[in-house]
């Protein structure tokens, strides 16, 4: 399977399909990074949407996938969280 954006071989997922064939992601690493950065840059807010923390540096904030699916970069599925709230979101 080739990258749907640039036509190169995408990175391999961990594991195999039920029939024993390797599973591949739709995008190669470079195209995924471009898409991820573009989407998240457009949706990332300057504050935590949970606690209201106002970041002095954008690296203090994370983009959280609400449904847990990191392939779903739909704007409605993304939320800006501070590192603490993001950690709490993923805590058991």
**Is residue 52 domain-shared with residue 38, that is, in the same domain?**
no
Q: Identify the pLDDT of residue 14.
A: 58
**Is residue 38 domain-shared with residue 57, that is, in the same domain?**
no
* Containing structural domain, residue 29: 1-43
HEC string of the chain equals CCCCCCCCCCCEEEEECCCCCEEECCCCHHHHHHHHHHHHHHHCCCECCCCCCECCCHHHEEEEECCCCCCCCCHHHEEEEEHHHHHHHCCC
**Is residue 25 domain-shared with residue 56, that is, in the same domain?**
no
pTM metric for this prediction: 0.62
pLDDT digits (tens, 9 = 90+) for 12-69: 675 677 888 877 777 788 887 787 777 767 778 999 999 999 999 988 999 999 998 8
Q: Identify the pLDDT of residue 54.
A: 96
Answer whether 45's CB lies under 8 Å from 33's CB.
no
């Amino acid at each position: 399977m080739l990258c749907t954006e640039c036509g190169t071989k995408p990175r391999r997922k961990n594991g195999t399909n039920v029939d024993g064939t390797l599973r591949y992601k739709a995008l190669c690493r470079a195209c995924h990074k471009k898409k991820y950065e573009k989407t998240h840059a457009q949706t990332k807010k300057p504050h935590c949407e949970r606690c209201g923390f106002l970041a002095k540096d954008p690296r203090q904030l994370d983009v959280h996938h609400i449904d847990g699916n990191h392939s779903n970069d739909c704007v409605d599925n993304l939320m800006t969280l501070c590192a603490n709230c993001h950690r709490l979101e993923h805590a058991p």
